[in-house]
């Protein structure tokens, strides 16, 4: 790999990487928020809510992400919903992430001591306040490694949205490979950039106390 | 006729085949401190939880000032054996959170009031520590401050010192004693018999979900003849004091002022006659011969208890 190639390839690849990072962060944020709602539903008193949460989780975990993306790509316009492809892609990625986040959160919430919740109840906190201010933060302490793992999965899974035409890192390297006739170098550089991004995530998730 | 502050009528709680509360009647006047004692599994926690409205009843009702308390309505505060502090928040934030979210105080107001409450339990300096950085006794005092901050009408203590090392119980019992002196209405479940005897206006002995003995602390601890209660007290004393031994006890050690210390106060050893039988001996260890109204000189479980840590004048103010 020579410097001339790197100099030519790096600027477009970095632009693609920025797109990948934004798309993934948006999907992770959506996944966490929606996952928290689904986790709340799956531990709710109502049978209907619990059933809906179980259905959601099994659909998004049971159908390949690529199939979900293609469904969104073709089904939404068919249903008369006209939204930009990028929104559909981020939405699908986020909703899929939510199913995994919900499972992580459900496990984490189960470790919250019931006494902490009971104290909140007696002091007059509402259910929503107790969830956001007590249960979620206490659970977050045990869930951090799993959440970082899920964030890394999403960062990598976002390469699939290249197939519905989003110009992110993988798609940019494909374009580069065909325009330069240097596929090996293009994909090697692309892989290295994914690795760097995920190293940053791993560093964020690194728990000094556990190491 | 004035209705009592707290009325519990025919409280029943049954889970499956287990009768946890089997028809408990209890009434408590404003400012009273009621000590609840009883063997493990007798329903003490269940009774407190029923009064707080935490567990559903299968019969009877609870009225505090004429209304059935609902958790979170501000009527009943509860202090738990396991403290139940929120581990992700500092001591100050533990006290301030409900003030902000429930009382709708501003952050500044809530912080100020939290500091005042922590000061009252002697922990102002530790307001910025997380629970994990506090001793058990300190954690329990934060939990008490958190409860006090919301100004409940009634406070329930469920074995507040049972998970503390013996040397940490005194600081917590002192705070509770200080509260009793302010006229707070309280129900206290505790195995610290000396504390219960000295702080309670009334004692209640529970067994198998029923009230077996109830009356002024003196009567319950000294005069009651109910065999289960006598056996319960005897077992307690054997565990907390010493095994029956005709030799004089070793020199007393000015330790924390628990029942243990009461039993070891100077003169205690001389006051203890050789045991006559399992129950007689432990009753006389208490210095409370069941039949005789005159306790031996030297010490008594029922004597007013001097406060060994009188250095904090704000406590209980
Ligand atoms: N949710 C429950 N389901 C079934 N049994 C229970 C439940 N809670 C408490 N018990 C039983 O009720 C009895 C009284 O318990 P508890 O009130 O905790 O007693 P104490 O506090 O006096 O030790 C015990 O026998 C206990 O096993
Ligand atoms: Mg109990």
The pLDDT tens digits for A113-161 are 999 999 999 999 999 999 999 999 999 888 988 999 999 999 999 999 9
Check CB contact of B54 with chain A, cutoff 8 Å: yes
pLDDT of A185 strictly over 50: yes
- Express each pLDDT in B29-75 by its tens digit: 999 999 999 999 999 999 999 999 999 999 999 999 989 999 989 89
Please write the tens of the pLDDT for every residue from A65-105: 999 998 888 888 888 888 888 888 999 999 999 999 999 99
Instruction: With cut-offs at 50, 70 and 90, classify the pLDDT of residue A53.
Output: very high
Dist. CA B161–CA B171, nearest whole Å = 10
The CATH number for A133's domain is: 1.10.3720.10
Q: Residue of the nearest CA to atom 24 in ligand 1? A: B41
Tell me if A119 is assigned to some domain: yes
Neighbour count for residue A92 (Cβ, 10 Å): 24
Indicate which ligand has the atom closest to the C-alpha of B39.
1
Candidate from B54, B72, B78 with C-beta closest to A124:
B72
Number of folded domains that form chain A: 1
Do residues B160 and B79 touch, judged by C-beta distance below 8 A? yes
Ligand nearest to the CA of B43: 1
- Give me the residues of chain B with pLDDT under 70, please: 1-2, 240-317
Residue B34 alpha carbon to ligand 1 centre in Å: 20
Task: Determine the angle formed by the axes of helices A169-180 and A3-42, rounding to 10 degrees.
Answer: 150
Q: What integer pLDDT is reported at residue B225 of this predicted model? A: 82
Measured between CA atoms, how close is A56 to chain B, in angstroms?
31
A interface mutation test: which of B53, B78, B84 has the most A CBs within 10 A? B84
Mean of all residue pLDDT scores within chain B? 80
Burial profile B77-96: b = 16 or more Cβ within 10 angstroms, e = fewer: bbbbbbbbbbbbbbbbbbbb
- What is the distance in angstroms between the Cα of B271 and the nearest Cα belonging to chain A? 44
Kindly state which CATH superfamily the domain B6-221 is placed in: P-loop containing nucleotide triphosphate hydrolases (3.40.50.300)
Q: Which of A117, A118, A122, A144 to probe the B interface (max B CBs under 10 A)?
A: A122
Q: What is the pLDDT of residue A9?
A: 86
Check CB contact under 8 Å for B101 and A129. Answer: yes
What local confidence, expressed as pLDDT, does residue B219 receive? 84
pLDDT tens digit sequence for A16-40:
999 999 999 999 999 999 999 999 8
- Contact at CB, B86 and A121, closer than 8 angstroms: no
Domain span at residue A142 reads 22-168
| pLDDT band per the 50, 70, 90 thresholds, residue A164 | confident
Q: Is residue A191 part of a domain?
A: no
pLDDT at res. B240: 66
For chain A, say whether B162 makes contact (Cβ under 8 Å).
no
Our answer on whether the CB atom of B42 is closer than 6 Å to any ligand 1 atom is: yes
Q: For CATH 3.40.50.300, list the domain ranges present in chain B.
A: 6-221
ipTM, two decimals:
0.75
Q: Is residue A56 part of a domain?
A: yes
pLDDT tens by residue, B205-243? 999 999 999 999 888 888 878 889 988 888 887 776 655
Q: Do B71 and A138 touch (CB under 8 A)?
A: no
What is the model's pLDDT at position A152?
A: 94
Per the domain annotation, does A111 fall within a domain? yes
Dihedrals phi, psi of A34, to nearest 5 degrees: -65, -35
pLDDT at A169 over 80: yes
- Kindly report the backbone phi and psi dihedral angles of residue B155, in degrees, each rounded to the nearest multiple of 5, phi listed first: -120, 135
Phi, psi of B124 (to 5 degrees): -55, -40
pLDDT score at A140:
86
User: CA-CA distance, A118 to A101, in Å (whole number)?
Assistant: 25
In a domain, A106, yes or no: yes
Residue B222 near residue B290, CB atoms below 8 Å: yes
- Chain A contacts in chain B segment 122-151 (CB below 8 A): 143, 146-147, 150
Do the Cβ atoms of B80 and A115 come within 8 Å?
A: yes
Q: What is the pLDDT of residue A82?
A: 81
Minimal CA separation from B104 to chain A, in Å: 11
β-pairing, B185-189 vs B154-158, is parallel
| Token duo for residue B186 | 């309280």
List chain A residues with CB under 8 Å of B71.
121-122
Task: Please indicate, yes or no, whether the overall pTM of this predicted structure exceeds 0.95.
Answer: no
Give residue B22 CA to ligand 1 midpoint distance, Å: 12
Check CB contact under 8 Å for B85 and A116.
yes
């Amino acid at each position: 790999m020579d410097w001339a190639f790197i100099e030519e390839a790096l600027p477009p690849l970095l632009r693609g990487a920025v797109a990948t990072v934004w798309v993934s962060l948006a999907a992770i944020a959506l996944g966490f928020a929606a996952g928290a709602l689904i986790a709340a539903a799956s531990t709710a008193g109502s049978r209907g809510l619990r059933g809906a949460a179980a259905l959601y989780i099994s659909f998004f975990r049971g159908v390949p992400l690529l199939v979900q993306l293609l469904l969104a790509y073709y089904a939404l316009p068919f249903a008369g919903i006209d939204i930009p492809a990028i929104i559909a892609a981020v939405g699908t990625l986020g909703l899929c992430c939510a199913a995994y986040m919900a499972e992580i959160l459900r496990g984490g919430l189960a470790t919250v001591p019931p006494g902490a919740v009971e104290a909140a109840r007696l002091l007059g906190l509402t259910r929503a306040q107790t969830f956001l201010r007590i249960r979620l933060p206490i659970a977050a302490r045990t869930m951090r490694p799993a959440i970082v793992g899920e964030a890394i999965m999403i960062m990598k899974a976002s390469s699939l949205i290249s197939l519905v035409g989003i110009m992110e890192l993988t798609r940019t390297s494909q374009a580069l490979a065909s325009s330069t006739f240097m596929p090996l170098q293009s994909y090697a550089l692309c892989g290295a950039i994914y690795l760097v991004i995920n190293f940053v995530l791993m560093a964020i998730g690194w728990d000094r106390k556990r190491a | 006729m004035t209705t009592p502050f707290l009325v519990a009528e025919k409280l029943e709680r049954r889970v499956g085949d287990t009768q946890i509360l089997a028809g408990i009647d209890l009434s408590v006047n404003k400012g009273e401190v009621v000590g609840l004692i009883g063997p493990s599994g007798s329903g003490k926690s269940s009774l407190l939880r029923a009064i707080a409205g935490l567990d559903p009843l299968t019969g009877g009702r609870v009225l505090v000032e004429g209304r059935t308390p609902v958790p979170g309505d501000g009527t009943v505060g509860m202090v738990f054996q396991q403290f139940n502090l929120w581990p992700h928040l500092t001591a100050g934030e533990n006290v301030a959170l409900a003030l902000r979210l429930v009382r709708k105080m501003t952050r500044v107001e809530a912080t100020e009031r939290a500091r005042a409450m922590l000061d009252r339990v002697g922990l102002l300096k530790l307001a910025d520590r997380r629970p994990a950085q506090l001793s058990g006794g300190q954690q329990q005092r934060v939990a008490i401050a958190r409860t006090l901050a919301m100004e409940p009408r009634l406070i329930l203590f469920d074995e507040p010192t049972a998970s503390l090392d013996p040397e940490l119980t005194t600081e917590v019992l002192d705070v509770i004693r200080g509260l009793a002196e302010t006229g707070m209405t309280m129900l206290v479940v505790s195995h610290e018999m000396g504390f219960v005897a000295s702080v309670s206006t009334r004692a209640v002995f529970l067994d198998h979900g029923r009230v077996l003995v109830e009356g002024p602390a003196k009567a319950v601890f000294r005069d009651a003849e109910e065999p289960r209660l006598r056996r319960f007290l005897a077992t307690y004393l054997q565990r907390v004091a010493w095994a029956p031994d005709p030799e004089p006890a070793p020199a007393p050690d000015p330790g924390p002022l628990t029942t243990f210390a009461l039993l070891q106060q100077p003169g205690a050893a001389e006051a203890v006659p050789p045991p006559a039988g399992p129950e007689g001996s432990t009753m006389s260890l208490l210095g409370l011969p069941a039949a005789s109204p005159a306790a031996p000189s030297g010490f008594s479980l029922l004597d007013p208890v001097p406060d060994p840590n009188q250095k904090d004048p704000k406590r209980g103010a």
